[in-house]
């Protein structure tokens, strides 16, 4: 399936940088690139072999736009599977914009969001889950997220799903034979074997579904709120984790009022941190709004870092916070270990599963905290490079496949007609084919790629 339009877009970030890349793909990519790129060797791009770099100039009529390198890829040996030219010019907003404009004036069409990767999918270069992995890799902020995306891009999920699909298809074929040749004219698959195939598929898909939440934490980052009563050191902890003075720290209780947010990585995990106003009853209307916001953040958080002052006694506010954390992934952080301890640690340990002692001011205890974070989020020991479901779409396909496989299993167990069992198995296989894109509807495909960035 190939598109007759030749598309172009800036493939690099829209910010000043050493190099910017304008990419063209489509049947006329080399012809259009040849109109705007003049090679120093006088070589013609249209005649260039693939995987060849040419040094030269981007020109617009008589005007030189930039010195550049043009890389040629010949179909089908390119990312999109089409003829592709990549113009490496100087990075920066003006130059890349002008090179793109020149290419568009020479006959290319502006690429839509994700269109290069969509073409790669439509030309059979990537399965749908691998195309989604490309976007996850681009968006990855932490090491674990990048490893997970790379694993999917390498086809680990696709491979696993294909294995289960072929088992379901084997079951369908087995049932067909039983229906068409009921008198044992051909060798038949035993009911027990059919059941064991289907049970295996259902079990493995359920295992894959179980890792979804942990996978989401790894790929999207955990919404993490730093909470506690005033002056326990929340903002000092925020600054320690971000590595700079993100929040204002003073010895006056009630310093932080607004929610201060920053994304960080801790132990390879991405945390979307929010430092909040100290929790207390207050007559100050501004601080009061801050406290309300803090409580809302706690409610919606994936993880609460509940901070306590180790050099002080436990107060009623501390106890309320401990209770608010019950049943939620949370860590009780006893801060200010550099000062003599007055706090009742046993009380906290009796309520909270994870208790970590730190000195935010001295920068001590971060590693211990990192370990506790990964345990509290349930990703401890999770291998991000194992096959996992990357998004709600993939999860949905998998859930439907399990439901239908389980229907087939109970149908077989209860002696339902083989026709009904066969249909369930076929539909289960279809759900998995939809996951990898072999049977995805074009509306679904359009929807997926529209969330990509332009130039990818
Ligand atoms: N000795 C010691 N002092 C600390 C430590 N962490 C924070 N502090 C001090 O505690 C005071 C309050 O720190 P903040 O980080 O502003 O506390 P907070 O919880 O953000 O306070 P609010 O924003 O008012 O809710 C400051 O004087 C900090 O220097 C620590 O580990 N050891
Ligand atoms: Mg603060």
CATH of the domain at 111: 3.30.1360.120
Sequence-distant (≥ 6) Cβ neighbours of residue 209 within 8 angstroms: 389, 395, 398, 399, 402
Q: β-strands 269-275, 222-227: how paired?
A: parallel
Claim to verify: residue 307 and residue 349 sit in the same structural domain: yes
Can you tell me whether residue 265 is helix, strand or coil? strand
Predicted local distance difference test score (pLDDT) of residue 329: 93
Q: Looking at the predicted structure, is the pLDDT value of residue 442 above 80?
A: no
Q: Whose CA is nearest to atom 12 of ligand 1?
A: 231
Is position 449 within any domain? no
Q: Separation of 234 CA from ligand 1 center, angstroms? A: 7
Claim to verify: residue 237 and residue 309 sit in the same structural domain: yes
Residue 2 pLDDT class (50, 70, 90 cuts): low
Q: Give mean pLDDT, residues 33-45.
A: 97
Claim to verify: residue 139 and residue 108 sit in the same structural domain: no
Claim to verify: residue 48 and residue 147 sit in the same structural domain: no
Distance of CA 433 to the CA centre of its chain: 21
Q: Looking at the predicted structure, is the pLDDT value of residue 290 above 90?
A: no
Q: Which of 385, 400, 375, 409 is nearest to 209 (CA)?
A: 400
Cβ atoms of 22 and 9 closer than 8 Å? yes
Angle at the Cα of 390 from the Cα atoms of 384 and 393, rounded to 5 degrees: 165
What does the mean pLDDT of the chain come to?
92
Q: Separation of 327 CA from ligand 2 center, angstroms? A: 25
Predicted local distance difference test score (pLDDT) of residue 395: 94
Q: Separation of 329 CA from ligand 1 center, angstroms? A: 24
Sequence-distant (≥ 6) Cβ neighbours of residue 417 within 8 angstroms: none
Q: Looking at the predicted structure, is the pLDDT value of residue 351 above 80?
A: yes
Is position 219 within any domain? no
Count of domains for the chain: 3
The CATH number covering residue 325 comes to: 3.40.50.300
Predicted local distance difference test score (pLDDT) of residue 185: 64
Sequence-distant (≥ 6) Cβ neighbours of residue 104 within 8 angstroms: 8, 110
Claim to verify: residue 154 and residue 119 sit in the same structural domain: no
Quick one: what percent of the chain has pLDDT higher than 70?
99
Predicted local distance difference test score (pLDDT) of residue 144: 83
Claim to verify: residue 399 and residue 367 sit in the same structural domain: no
Predicted local distance difference test score (pLDDT) of residue 455: 78
Claim to verify: residue 342 and residue 400 sit in the same structural domain: no
Q: Looking at the predicted structure, is the pLDDT value of residue 127 above 80?
A: yes
Sequence-distant (≥ 6) Cβ neighbours of residue 185 within 8 angstroms: none
Can you tell me whether residue 239 is helix, strand or coil? helix
Please identify, among 328, 351, 376, the residue that sits at the C-terminal boundary of a domain.
Answer: 376
Q: Separation of 244 CA from ligand 2 center, angstroms? A: 14
For residue 343, the tally of other CB atoms under 10 A from its CB is: 19
Claim to verify: residue 41 and residue 103 sit in the same structural domain: yes
Q: Give mean pLDDT, residues 212-230.
A: 90
Is position 2 within any domain? no
CA within 13 Å, CB half, 204: 15
Query: Does the CA dihedral 278-282-285-288 come out positive or negative?
Result: positive
Q: Separation of 231 CA from ligand 1 center, angstroms? A: 5
pLDDT tens digits, one per residue of 356-406: 999 999 999 999 999 999 999 988 888 888 888 988 899 999 999 999 999
Distance CA 324, CA 265 (A): 25
Minimum-distance ligand 1 atom for the alpha carbon of 278: 25
Task: Please give the torsion angle defined by the CA atoms of residues 358, 359, 365 and 371, in that order, rounded to the nearest 10 degrees.
Answer: 40
Is position 454 within any domain? no
Is position 19 within any domain? yes
Predicted local distance difference test score (pLDDT) of residue 322: 92
Q: Give mean pLDDT, residues 234-263.
A: 95
Task: Tell which one of 297, 361, 363, 364 to mutate to probe ligand 1, the residue whose CB is within 8 A of the most ligand atoms.
Answer: 361
Q: Whose CA is nearest to atom 14 of ligand 1?
A: 233
Question: What range does the domain containing 322 cover?
Answer: 224-376
Q: Whose CA is nearest to atom 27 of ligand 1?
A: 251
Predicted local distance difference test score (pLDDT) of residue 453: 77
Q: Separation of 255 CA from ligand 2 center, angstroms? A: 5
Claim to verify: residue 316 and residue 369 sit in the same structural domain: yes
Is position 383 within any domain? no
Is position 55 within any domain? yes
pLDDT tens digits, one per residue of 101-112: 999 999 999 999
Q: Nearest ligand to the C-alpha of residue 287?
A: 1
Please identify, among 103, 126, 149, the residue that sits at the C-terminal boundary of a domain.
Answer: 126
Cβ atoms of 135 and 452 closer than 8 Å? yes
Q: Whose CA is nearest to atom 13 of ligand 1?
A: 233
Q: Give mean pLDDT, residues 306-323.
A: 94
Claim to verify: residue 40 and residue 175 sit in the same structural domain: no
Q: Which of 53-57, 278-282, 326-330, 434-438 has the highest mean pLDDT?
A: 53-57
Q: Which of 380, 381, 389, 379 is nearest to 160 (CA)?
A: 389
Is position 14 within any domain? yes
Q: Looking at the predicted structure, is the pLDDT value of residue 211 above 90?
A: no
Answer yes or no: pTM beyond 0.75. Answer: no
Claim to verify: residue 171 and residue 49 sit in the same structural domain: no
Predicted local distance difference test score (pLDDT) of residue 1: 45
pLDDT tens digits, one per residue of 63-79: 999 999 999 999 999 99
Q: Give mean pLDDT, residues 224-238.
A: 97
Q: Which of 125-129, 339-343, 416-420 has the highest mean pLDDT?
A: 339-343
pLDDT tens digits, one per residue of 162-175: 999 999 999 999 99
Residue 236 pLDDT class (50, 70, 90 cuts): very high
Residues in the chain: 456
Claim to verify: residue 329 and residue 297 sit in the same structural domain: yes
The CATH number covering residue 199 comes to: 1.20.120.430
Residues with CB under 6 A from ligand 1: 228, 230-236, 249-251, 253-256, 277-278, 335-336, 338-339, 359-361
Angle at the Cα of 129 from the Cα atoms of 79 and 386, rounded to 5 degrees: 110
pLDDT tens digits, one per residue of 149-196: 888 888 899 999 999 999 999 999 999 888 887 776 667 788 899 999
């Amino acid at each position: 399936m190939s598109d007759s339009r030749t598309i172009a877009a800036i493939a690099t970030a829209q910010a000043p940088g050493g190099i910017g890349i304008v990419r063209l793909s489509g049947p006329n990519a080399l012809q259009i690139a040849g109109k705007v790129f003049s090679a120093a060797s006088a070589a013609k791009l249209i005649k260039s072999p693939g995987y060849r770099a040419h040094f030269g100039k981007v020109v617009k009529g008589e005007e030189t736009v930039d010195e550049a390198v043009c890389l040629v890829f010949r179909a089908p040996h390119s990312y999109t599977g089409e003829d592709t030219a990549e113009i490496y010019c100087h990075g920066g907003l003006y130059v890349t914009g002008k090179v793109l404009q020149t290419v568009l004036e020479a006959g290319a069409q502006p690429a839509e969001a994700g269109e290069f990767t969509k073409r790669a999918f439509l030309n059979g270069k990537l399965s749908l889950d691998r195309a989604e992995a490309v976007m996850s890799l681009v968006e990855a902020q932490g090491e674990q997220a990048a490893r997970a995306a790379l694993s999917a891009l390498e086809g680990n999920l696709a491979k696993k799903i294909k294995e289960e699909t072929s088992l379901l298809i084997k079951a369908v074929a087995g049932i067909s034979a039983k229906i068409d040749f009921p008198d044992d004219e051909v060798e038949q698959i035993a009911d027990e074997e059919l059941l064991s195939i289907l049970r295996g598929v259902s079990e493995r898909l359920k295992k894959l579904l179980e890792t979804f939440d942990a996978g989401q934490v790894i790929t999207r980052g955990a919404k993490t709120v730093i909470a506690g009563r005033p002056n326990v050191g929340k903002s000092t902890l925020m600054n320690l984790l971000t590595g700079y003075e993100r929040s204002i720290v003073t010895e006056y209780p009630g310093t932080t009022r607004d929610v201060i947010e920053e994304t960080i990585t801790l132990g390879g995990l991405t945390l979307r941190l929010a430092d909040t106003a100290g929790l207390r009853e207050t007559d100050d209307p501004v601080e009061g709004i801050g406290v309300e916001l803090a409580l809302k953040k706690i409610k919606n958080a994936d993880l609460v870092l509940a901070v306590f002052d180790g050099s002080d006694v436990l107060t009623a506010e501390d106890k309320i916070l401990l209770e608010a954390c019950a049943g939620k992934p949370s860590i009780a952080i006893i801060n200010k270990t550099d000062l003599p301890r007055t706090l009742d640690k046993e009380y906290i340990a009796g309520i909270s599963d994870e208790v970590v002692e730190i000195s935010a001011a001295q920068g001590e205890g971060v590693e211990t905290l990192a370990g506790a974070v990964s345990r509290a989020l349930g990703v401890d020991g999770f291998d991000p490079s194992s096959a996992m479901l990357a998004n709600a779409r993939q999860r949905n396909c998998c859930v439907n496949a399990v439901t239908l496989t389980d229907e087939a299993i109970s149908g077989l167990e209860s002696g339902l007609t083989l026709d009904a069992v066969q249909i369930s198995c076929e539909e289960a296989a279809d759900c998995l084919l939809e996951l990898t894109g072999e049977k995805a509807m074009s509306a679904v495909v359009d929807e997926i790629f529209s969330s990509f960035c332009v130039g990818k």
